[in-house]
Amino acid sequence: MDRVALRGLKARGHHGVFPKERNEGQTFIVDLVLGLDTRPAAADDDLSRTVHYGVVAEEVVAVVEGDPVDLIETLAERIAQVCLKHDVVEEVEVVVHKPDAPITVPFDDVTITITRSRV
């Protein structure tokens, strides 16, 4: 299976369990690895036979900017389902970064990584 990766998609969302997170929002960063067979697109040099990663990026940002959820696990699942709606995408790995998570000790990042497939 071939891979198309999008790294560092940034969007502001209002996800989290605390009122401040819901009211003020924060930046979320998303990394995606889409699993698909790119041979048909490459053979014909045809965008319609692969995934349009620009469209996927816009859809993912819309999910992050959309309806709030409590958990980044839920956000990652929603993102995965949007990616799998593209017929050629057989598998997706989603990493959601929450670099401004409300943690009381110094840290670099909080992430959730999930992998989902059609099978």
| Contact yes or no for 117/35 (Cβ under 8 A) | yes
Pick from 39, 34, 60: which is nearest to 49 by CA? 39
Q: What is the DSSP letter of 61?
A: H
Q: Strands (DSSP E) along 57-118, which ranges? A: 91-97, 111-117
Distance between alpha carbon 18 and the CA centroid of its chain, in Å? 22
Q: Is 10 a catalytic residue?
A: no
82 closest CA partner among 107, 108, 51, 112: 51
Q: Which of 10, 20, 85, 98 is the catalytic position?
A: 98
User: Catalytic residue positions?
Assistant: 98
